[in-house]
């Protein structure tokens, strides 16, 4: 059963949008997709109770429940968040790529980072299964 407030959509549908936007816009497409992830992530983190660790773990568990892959919290400090994802449906649906492709997940994690870290920080996908990595890895940038 789909959780309340969600619709089901195939990864291939989202990746179809992603590839069309990439063809139309080039590299700027990645930030557009991340913006969508941030909007959804802000909704997901709003009203979440508990300390930073509890909020992060809850959101990562929800990510697995809705089929975005198996999330692992690698590091959480007041200024840094590092998360890895095994089995990203976005990477799987995308196929081989020369750059990271999981921009929706990156955006969600940026919203999460904004909610729990000392100040808003960008997130980079530093490894991606679409590029042949064993798992996707997302890290807040130091700046
Ligand atoms: Zn990825």
How confident is the model over 43-99, as pLDDT tens digits?
A: 888 877 889 999 999 999 999 999 999 999 999 999 999 999 999 999 999 999 999
Question: How far apart are the CA of 130 and the centre of ligand 1, in A?
Answer: 6
Q: Residue 11: what pLDDT? A: 95
Residue 3 Cα to ligand 1 middle (Å)? 24
Query: How far, in Å, from the CA of 124 to the mean position of ligand 1?
Result: 10
Assign 3-state DSSP to the chain and report helix, strand, coil percentages, each to 5.
Answer: 50, 15, 35
Q: Strand 80-86: give its sheet, edge to edge.
A: 70-77, 80-86, 136-140, 123-127
Q: How far does residue 123's CA lie from ligand 1's centre (Å)?
A: 13
């Amino acid at each position: 059963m789909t959780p309340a407030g969600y619709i089901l959509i195939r990864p291939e549908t989202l990746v179809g949008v992603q590839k069309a936007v990439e063809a139309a816009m080039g590299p700027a497409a990645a930030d557009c997709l991340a913006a969508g992830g941030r909007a959804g992530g802000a909704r997901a983190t709003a009203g979440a109770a508990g300390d930073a660790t509890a909020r992060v773990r809850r959101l990562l568990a929800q990510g697995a429940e809705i089929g975005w892959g198996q999330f692992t919290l690698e590091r959480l400090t007041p200024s840094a968040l590092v998360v890895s994802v095994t089995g990203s449906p976005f990477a799987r649906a995308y196929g081989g790529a020369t750059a990271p492709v999981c921009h929706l997940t990156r955006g969600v994690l940026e919203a999460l980072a904004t909610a729990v870290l000392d100040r808003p920080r960008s997130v980079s996908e530093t490894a991606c299964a679409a590029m042949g990595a064993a798992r996707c890895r997302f890290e807040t940038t130091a700046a």
